[in-house]
Structure 1
Amino acid sequence: MDDRYLKPHIVIGDLSKIHGLKNEEKILLGTDGSITNLLEILFGEEVVVETLYQEIIDNVNYRAVLLGVNGIPLIYATSETPLNLIDEIHIREKIKKDLLSADIPIGKILKIHNLETRREIVEIAVKEVPDVVKNKLNPKRIKIPQRTYNIIHKNKVLMTITEMFNLEDHL
């Protein structure tokens, strides 16, 4: 793995020079905390999650969501959750139920179930927007900030999440 991924400030600094990222975008790209919490602080409103797609295949939950504020879609996120990596059966079933039955942000699901986790950033980039994301976020830019990270629980990857940000148009 490239050492630069272990130092988000370097990667984000380089991307910012090339793409002119706003400070808020840099913070969201580099945080190892809750994106939902940061969005609520930035916009002063509760984040609403709209589940676009969800399916369990071979005990892995695949989910795509839009995170927005005041009807404005800000982030398109996908997640993969291998449910069998959650050791405690009762917690696994509750998390599975929350993922499947409600539009709850993953950070809030982890908090509800009091899971001690950490986030490990795998990739930070500014990339071309896939068509499915263009149709949901309607960005003005051809390329948008994106990141992929793992949520680690008991030294296992509990979830892998990719987020694509369209904040520039709304800040």
Structure 2
Amino acid sequence: MIVYKEIAKLNRIFPLLNEEKILLGTDGSITNILEILFEDACSVETIKQVILNNTNYREVVLKVNEIPLVYAISKTPFKNIEEENLREEIKKDLLSADIPIGKIIRKHNLETRREIIKIGIAEINSDLKKILKTSHNRLPKRTYNIIYKNKILMEITEVFAIRGKL
């Protein structure tokens, strides 16, 4: 996928803010971008979390100053983390604290890359509207993998609700 072309194509059918284009296309930390844009620390509110078949499923909202900005679903297959100590530390971080994934990666000094799989528009139902405190029926979204040692460390889908909040 050529990311800038996908964003340009999406922008023609759903006009995007420049900040949304950056969030959709970055191969860096969303947490860091939100902290820069909103000039404060990013926090995580976990909505739901469960481990099935040695894979952690986590639904969260990323917030700055209690403003909900991103709804994210992550899947972390623990079998792809070969080092046992690291696997247990990441599992502990995911389960015991509301830590953004970007900060978990930084904390463990992991050399990772992000591979964007899909960029599009999410249809927002009433439950998600409440969670994100938005009136928008459609918002930009993307799905990407975080790759560590040539294996998928996490698959993440994010819905961006920054419209009208900047």
**What TM-score bracket applies, with the shorter chain setting the length?**
over 0.9
Aligned partner of 1:111 in structure 2 is: 106
Q: 1:60 pairs with 30, 39, 55, which one?
A: 55
CA gap of 1:25–1:53, structure 2 versus 1, over 3 A, is same
Distance in 2, Cα, partners of 1:132 & 1:114:
36
Instruction: Point out where structure 1 has 5 or more consecutive residues left out of the alignment.
Output: 1-5
Q: Deviations over 1:89-130 (max 9, x none)?
A: 000000000000000000110111111110000000012114
TM-score scaled by length of structure 1 = 0.94
Distance in 1, Cα, partners of 2:124 & 2:49:
21
Deviates more, 1:132-141 or 1:71-80: 132-141
**Aligned-residue RMSD, C-alpha:** 1.0
| Matched length | 166
8 A contact 1:140–1:169 mirrored in 2: no
1:29 paired to 2:24: yes
Give the superposition deviation at 1:139: 2.1
Instruction: Point out where structure 2 has 5 or more consecutive residues left out of the alignment.
Output: none
Q: 1:94 pairs with 89, 97, 100, which one?
A: 89
User: Alignment partner of 2:40: what SS?
Assistant: coil
Structure 1: which amino acid aligns with 2:123?
E
1:168 paired to 2:145: no
User: Alignment partner of 2:109: what SS?
Assistant: coil
Identity of aligned residues (%): 57
Give 1:66-145 correspondences, 5 Å limit: 66-145=61-140
Aligned partner of 1:49 in structure 2 is: 44
TM-score scaled by length of structure 2 = 0.97
